[in-house]
Structure 1
């Protein structure tokens, strides 16, 4: 064993003494170092590419069907804007004049009449006031555009706003006007203050508020906290009710008409028969004998 060890040591010494040994060793080490550097650079370059691939994949996912659903969600949320009274939520108010509803009972209709110069006029909106008769802020009931600002001899300062789905709102009896024509307002934004006017003088400090659908006045109280697309004019509502009437009711009406026509025809036939009998020869001879 000792001889083998001595032999191996001598072999290594011989190899070390060779002229090519150290250059070969240096080249081998250099090759390993270069390979390591190249591998590191390749790995470093692959990291940004991997990150870019992940980013592209996320963008593709966001631009897919889910992204369309997300984009469509914003208009849906906007459609959920509901009608609010044109006053602050924490303000204690009362409706001192109601909307004149032709379909309401007599007592309710009386609450929708306005006395002016010893004459009663039907209210196309509601008058909102406070118990202490203090001035309060008037706010936009819907998001929309101010299309008219004017001063009326009877109504006082008036603001008209246009909204989606053919809905317009009117704010009259304003004391101070804080917006101009053409202004784009958000729901709840202050447009002026409550004041007084000649037509509703008995109401004191108040705001006269109207809602119209395609130019037809509707009862604001009927649509409070309802979406703007559910506001329907009375005429359209009556037509839809007639169209939605059960088919059996329409058939019954038709049957009644046909039965009435048949009865009238039978009566006319009986009258004709009676006339013929009176004009017959037998009847005339009997009359002569008499």
Structure 2
């Protein structure tokens, strides 16, 4: 009997397994159970925190919206009330060559440096009226020896614009850090006294002058720190804060006062010439006023006159 029951149950399962709908139904049931278990596990493990975060986010957004509306209604919106402010650092300018295109420019006369070699010192001498003078700046010309735009080397204020008989048109500008720049031998001037000029602005065009005839069409450029000339070539494309007054500038300035041409357009040679003329005029007046002077006295006067003339010449060469 038992064997017959076993056979009957086996045959029953075989009949069930033989149905076409059995395996699809079994697959769907298992898939549904697995999906239900996964969803239940996710909700159990992380469902509540997510819901909490969502609520917090909604609340925060609502609060922000109310705060914005209240500030907009009052008309006083202070975006920086709770923000730490940091001071803005000003950028220091670097001194540029006073030309629009440095690649098309060349320095034809250098700054006279007492520590330079003899070759550079020779290139820093200016021949004027059969005498050599030490250059306080640099002469910049174009490669084609044609006129070109002269630009501001640094931002600053135009303090003087004048026409000098020897240097041509001259522009003087003052800058921060106790700096002064000079632009001479200008054919045209495009700025006026008191104008605020930005670095790179065109202030004139290069030309010719009497004092620097050998340089042709050029701009004479000088830089002074606290009134003392410094070599512009040493500070091109360097921050203006690095420009320093030379340690031995006082001694050099005193030595150069008797031989260099300054920015005012006067030379010691001109001063000596005026002194010679003054001495000659006085001597001529004395000779004309005394017709009965003894010949010996005339010789003494002539000797005195020669000594005074020699003294004036010595001052010119000092």
What's the TM-score bracket when you normalise by the shorter of the two chains? 0.5 to 0.7
Query: Residue 129 of structure 1 corresponds to which residue in structure 2?
Result: 141
SS at match of 2:88: helix
Q: 1:145 to 1:57 in 2, by over 3 A?
A: closer
Query: Residue 190 of structure 2 corresponds to which residue in structure 1?
Result: 178
Deviation of residue 90 (structure 1)? 5.6
The count of residues paired between Structure 1 and Structure 2 equals 188
1:141-180 superposed matches below 5 A: 141-180=153-192
1:211-226 superposed matches below 5 A: 211-226=223-238
Query: Residue 47 of structure 1 corresponds to which residue in structure 2?
Result: 65
Deviation of residue 58 (structure 1)? 4.0
Provide, for residues 192-242 of structure 1, a one-character-per-residue CA deviation record: whole Å limited to 9, x for no partner: 00000001001110000000000000000001111111100112789xxxx
Structure 2: tracts of 5 or more residues without a match: 1-60, 251-318
Instruction: Calculate the aligned-residue CA RMSD, in Å.
Output: 2.7
Deviation of residue 175 (structure 1)? 0.2
SS at match of 1:142: coil
Deviation of residue 105 (structure 1)? 1.4
CA distance, structure 2, for counterparts of residue 83 and residue 144 of structure 1:
12
1:3-152 superposed matches below 5 A: 47-50=65-68, 58-62=79-83, 64=84, 67=85, 69=86, 71-73=87-89, 75=90, 77=91, 79=92, 81-89=93-101, 91-152=103-164
- Please state which structure has a larger fraction of its residues in helix: 1
Structure 1: tracts of 5 or more residues without a match: 1-42, 239-290
Query: Residue 286 of structure 1 corresponds to which residue in structure 2?
Result: none
Q: Among 209, 212, 215, which residue is 1:200 paired with?
A: 212
Q: State the TM-score, normalizing by the size of structure 2.
A: 0.55
CA distance, structure 1, for counterparts of residue 142 and residue 246 of structure 2:
29
CA distance, structure 2, for counterparts of residue 46 and residue 124 of structure 1:
67
Q: State the TM-score, normalizing by the size of structure 1.
A: 0.60
